């Protein structure tokens, strides 16, 4: 089995002004530097206006930087959009794509997510592709069908373990304090890996993150669950102590 290093990714969403972002990122960068060898990679994904200052503040640290979305194009007449080339220029190495809040609030389809991911990969970014079912879909027994279709439809050409990370985030677990049980998480992650293997041939090395109310109190159990290769963290990524504790829960 391939060795998959855990990825602990912080999705700041639409939170924080420049001073907050600089303080949080510098704190984490300092801890990472001081900690020496750790069992995880750590990533922060601030809102667009904070990417440049945060990127400059963490250049000399192992803390990685990512965007929360990008356009499927590199430049041009696309008011309000931010291109993957611009993310790269700001120091990003990752971009979150197809988060359920974007699928819901901005009507992003699987095809749109795929196009964005292809543009992002073309710029050398790693695309973190988010998938997940709603509570109604899970109750109707459709969780695997929904997630399987999202994986198949969103996966870019050129996807492999070096270009794509999948984040499974059940919509009903995001920001609600509810988490899926480790058994449900293991089942879904195993299902996703099998779907990836069908599409890619070999998915052994692809990282699959869990997201949805990950906190210091549940991180150790979730991070030791089969086929869970890290976490995509919203609320708890805004506090350095909590986010760091999630990282250090990785073994």
> So which residues are the catalytic ones?
99, 169
Vertex 142: Cα angle to 137 and 148 (nearest 5): 115
Q: How far is the CB of 105 from ligand PGA (least distance, A)?
A: 12
Contact footprint for ligand PGA (CB under 6 A): 11, 169, 174-175, 211-214, 232-236
Q: What is the DSSP letter of 238?
A: G
Residue 240: other Cβ atoms inside 10 A: 17
Q: How far is the CB of 214 from ligand PGA (least distance, A)?
A: 5
CB 190 within 8 A of CB 226: yes
In the bound complex, which residue of the shown chain has the CB atom lying closest to ligand PGA?
234
Q: Whose Cβ is closer to ligand PGA: residue 85's or residue 151's? A: 151
CB 37 within 8 A of CB 124: no
Q: How far is the CB of 36 from ligand PGA (least distance, A)?
A: 27
Q: How far is the CB of 150 from ligand PGA (least distance, A)?
A: 15
CB 129 within 8 A of CB 113: yes
Q: Whose Cβ is closer to ligand PGA: residue 63's or residue 96's? A: 96
Q: Whose Cβ is closer to ligand PGA: residue 67's or residue 212's? A: 212
Number of H helices, E strands in the chain: 10, 8
CB 87 within 8 A of CB 117: no
């Amino acid at each position: 089995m391939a060795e998959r290093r855990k990825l602990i990714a912080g999705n700041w969403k639409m939170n924080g002004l420049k001073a907050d972002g600089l303080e949080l990122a510098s704190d984490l960068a300092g801890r990472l530097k001081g900690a020496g060898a750790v069992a995880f990679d750590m990533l922060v994904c601030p809102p667009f206006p904070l990417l440049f200052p945060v990127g400059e503040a963490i250049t000399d640290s192992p803390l990685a930087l990512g965007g929360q979305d990008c356009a499927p194009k590199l430049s041009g007449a696309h008011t309000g959009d931010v291109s993957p080339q611009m993310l790269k220029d700001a120091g990003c190495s990752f971009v979150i794509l197809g988060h359920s809040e974007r699928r819901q609030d901005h009507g992003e389809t699987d095809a749109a997510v795929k196009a964005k991911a292809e543009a992002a990969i073309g710029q050398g970014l790693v695309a973190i592709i988010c998938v997940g079912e709603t509570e109604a879909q899970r109750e109707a027994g459709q969780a695997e069908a929904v997630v399987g279709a999202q994986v198949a439809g969103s996966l870019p050409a050129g996807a492999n373990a070096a270009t794509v990370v999948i984040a499974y985030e059940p919509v009903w677990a995001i920001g609600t304090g509810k988490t899926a049980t480790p058994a449900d998480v293991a089942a879904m992650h195993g299902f996703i890996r099998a779907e990836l293997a069908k599409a890619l041939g070999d998915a052994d090395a692809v990282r699959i993150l869990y997201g949805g109310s990950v906190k210091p109190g549940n991180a150790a159990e979730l991070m030791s669950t089969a086929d869970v290769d890290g976490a995509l963290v919203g609320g708890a990524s805004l506090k350095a102590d909590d986010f760091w504790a999630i990282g250090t829960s990785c073994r």
